[in-house]
Amino acid sequence: MTIAATDQKLEPRRFSITLIVVIIVVSLIAGGILGYSINTFTLSGRISDLQNQVSALQEQVSNFQSTSNATNQNSTYIMGENASLAPLYAEVKDAIVVIRGLTLQYDVFRRPYYSQVQGSGFVYDYEGQMVVITNNHVVEETINITVTFINGNGHEAAVLGSDPYADLAVLSTNAPQSEYEPLEIASSSTLNVGDSVIAVGGPYGLAGSMTTGIVSALGRTITAEMSGSSYPIANVIQMSAPINPGNSGGPLLNYQGQVVGITTAIVSDSQGVGFAIPSSTVLREIESLITEGSFNQHPWLGASGIDMTYEIAETIGVDVTYGWLIVQVTSGGPADAAGLQGGTQQVTVAGESVIIGGDIIIALSGTRIKGIDDLSTFLEENALPDQSIDVTIIRNGETVMLPLTLGTRP
């Protein structure tokens, strides 16, 4: 009986253990399912976030590529440490022309003969009228003028207008409309020393030649001997891009393919010293050159002089080592009418003959004048004929200001 009673007590215990085991197993399974669901939901959210981020990045890359392609059509293409200007050249080459003509010459026996002259130019769209812009000295006193495009097609040309003081000329041609691929002209007023520039032209007849360099200086004045023109030229760009005979009249470009100048002269036997007419001069004169055939708004001071130096200041006995020393005043000119005085005595300074005794111009309308470059640039950029300006001078060691009314270059 005792044994039977013991067996009856074991049955409930076995049932309880089984129930506990079942509960534990079910709990584990339920916990696993719940954990899996939570992890799956969390992972799904993270995957969705990552997908959104990837989509956003792809959109940004696409936008960047579109903007980059649009921006860089006329810009430098960078490849590692190397830069390629080939796309820019492809954009501008069809606008460049070689200009040829004949000028009358005389031999030692005064017998006449014709000599060929050659230069460069580029196509420009002036209010729907296609013209070719070049230097005046390329076509001055020239007959039988032709322009030849990069594809070899040549056409007759004629001078529409010219300005020897700025060494500019504008030509018309009989080329068909399909030949013209005009360039855009940007204002050179935004140029700074150190900016990269590109010269394209036909040196020695080698059409479509490209060279590169930087802006070396601004506001230079070059002499008639340097420019190949009959007159000195004010407010020009000095640059290091190599140019040679035949480059004259070709465009000086920025890295967006816009014209910022017109190559005009080199210093003989120099290493990378060239000059270009600034595009701001072209933009100021183009309408008058095309519609009137000339530009007659160059202001005139009516005096000649030299730049001051320390040695000249020591000789004169003044403490001003900058400025423009007046050597001669043109009788009846603006400077003469204003009471400016020229030199009176010739002396030798640092081994050179100098005429002293004249007024020293140190400012024009409050703008400091260090020498002829500053003086010429101020007049070209800020003054017009018949305009009144204040001239600050040093006379007998004292500072004097005189009003002066500018004239027109005769």
Cite the active site residues.
137, 167, 248
Bridge partner residues of 259 (DSSP): 185, 253
**φ, ψ of residue 276 in degrees (nearest 5):** -145, 140
Query: At residue 230, what is the residue type?
Result: S
CA distance 382 to 366: 12
What is the gyration radius of the CA atoms in the chain, in angstroms? 39
Q: Which two tokens stand for residue 260?
A: 């910022």
Residue 323: phi, psi to the nearest 5?
Answer: 115, -175
Q: Quick one: CA dihedral 301, 237, 226, 145, positive or negative?
A: negative
Count of all residues that appear for the chain in the document: 410
Nearest to 323 by CA among 359, 366, 283, 273: 359
